[in-house]
Each structure stands twice: as structure tokens, then as C-alpha cells.
Amino acid sequence: MKKLLYLVALGAMLTSCEKTEEFEILTNYQFEMVGRTSQDINGYYHLPLNPQEDKQTLHRFGAHITKVDKYNLPTQVVWACDAFWYTPDTLGVMYIETRYIDDPWSWREYTISGYEGMTVPIVNGTSHADPNMDSVFCMMAPIGAMIGDTVTIYGRASFEEGDVILEDNFNIIFE
């Protein structure tokens, strides 16, 4: 009888136990994109471009972001844009040093071609937060033919191995 009473008491204790997990849940992640150039009162950024139609203008933009998540993993941001450009047939030239039996060392010019019509996005695809500060950066490279265009740059930050997603965007006018 004692054994039965002991088993009933033990069963009651085990069924009444409640499992509690104690860990910190971060819910205040930050992701706010900035164009890193002049901004008008409507919130549009303005970027002056090289006026030559086929020349790129390099510009670094970014975001204020929580650099690591609760697992101490660096934050990853995927970037996208609603604008792109096409490559011309000739991308440029390269110079190769050559030596022939009857000729001293010389440089030969070779045209880089065969890339006509390839699509070039104006923003890089992915970057990770800087481990030393709460910032993440990305490069854009619009061309002079885009002067007068207004484009939207999108960002998507992933925290906690993709369980928490924050999105933001901004508009930029190319001048």
C-alpha cells in the first residue's frame, strides 16, 4: 500500500510541474535605411551623377541596424532596386605585355567585348553588419543615362536565423 501511495504522490508531482525556459528575447531590433546624401523635405534623397551616359557613379548608402541578434550572429541584409542598366557590346580594353622572338617586350591592346545586353543591377545584393558598430553598408553604381530617374532602394534585414525580418526602403533621385 505504501508503494502505491508513493507512486500516486510522485505521479501527481510530475504532472503538476511546469517547464519554464529562461532566455532573453530581443524584440527591439533596429533597421533604418539612410541614403547618405542630401535629402529634401519630402524624404527623397538626391544624388548627382557623372553626366557621361555610360559612366558609373559609385555611392555608398546604408542603414542603422542592430549588429548582432540574440544568438550573437551578424545581421544580414539583402538589397534590391527597381532599376538596372544594360551593358554595351564593348566594356573596354585590357593591355597584355607580350614578347615575340623578333620584337622586344611590348603591350598589346585587346578589346573586351561579347557582353552586349547583359543586365546590371545598380545595387549590390547582400551585406552583413559591421561587428564594431551598428551599421551596414552597400554600394550603388548608376550610370549617367539615369539622370532624372527616381528609383526605390529596398532592404531586408534578417535576425535570429531568419525568424525576425525587418524591411525598409528609400527613394533617390538621380541628378
Q: pLDDT tens across 45-91, in order?
A: 999 999 999 899 999 999 999 998 888 888 999 999 999 998 887 77
The C-alpha cell at 7 is 507512486
Looking at residue 145, its pLDDT comes to 94
Looking at residue 117, its pLDDT comes to 85
Largest Cα separation within the chain, whole Å, is 111
Looking at residue 142, its pLDDT comes to 96
71 and 129 in a common domain: yes
Residue 7 lies in a domain: no
62 and 38 in a common domain: yes
Coil, helix or strand at residue 124: coil
Cβ-contact 61, 153 below 8 angstroms: yes
Residue 3 lies in a domain: no
Residue 94 lies in a domain: yes
Runs of H (alpha helix) within 21-174: none
pLDDT (tens digit, 0 to 9) for every residue of the chain, 175 residues total? 666 556 556 566 666 555 444 445 556 899 999 999 999 999 999 999 999 998 999 999 999 999 988 888 889 999 999 999 988 877 778 888 776 666 667 777 888 888 888 889 999 999 999 888 899 999 999 999 999 999 999 999 999 888 899 999 999 999 9
126 and 69 in a common domain: yes
97 and 132 in a common domain: no
Q: CATH code at 75?
A: 2.60.40.10
78 and 42 in a common domain: yes
CA–CA dist 79, 124 (Å, integer): 7
Residue 10 lies in a domain: no
pTM score above 0.85: no
164 and 106 in a common domain: no
Instruction: Provide the residue range defining the domain that includes 33.
Output: 28-83+122-174
Runs of H (alpha helix) within 39-164: none
Looking at residue 138, its pLDDT comes to 96
100 and 72 in a common domain: no
128 and 110 in a common domain: no
Cβ-contact 54, 85 below 8 angstroms: no
54 and 103 in a common domain: no
Runs of H (alpha helix) within the chain: 2-16
Domains held by the chain: number: 2
Q: Which of 71, 101, 118 is the last residue of a domain?
A: 118
Looking at residue 9, its pLDDT comes to 64
137 and 63 in a common domain: yes
The C-alpha cell at 79 is 538589397
Q: Which of 103, 118, 133 is the last residue of a domain?
A: 118
131 and 64 in a common domain: yes
Looking at residue 23, its pLDDT comes to 46
76 and 45 in a common domain: yes
Looking at residue 22, its pLDDT comes to 46
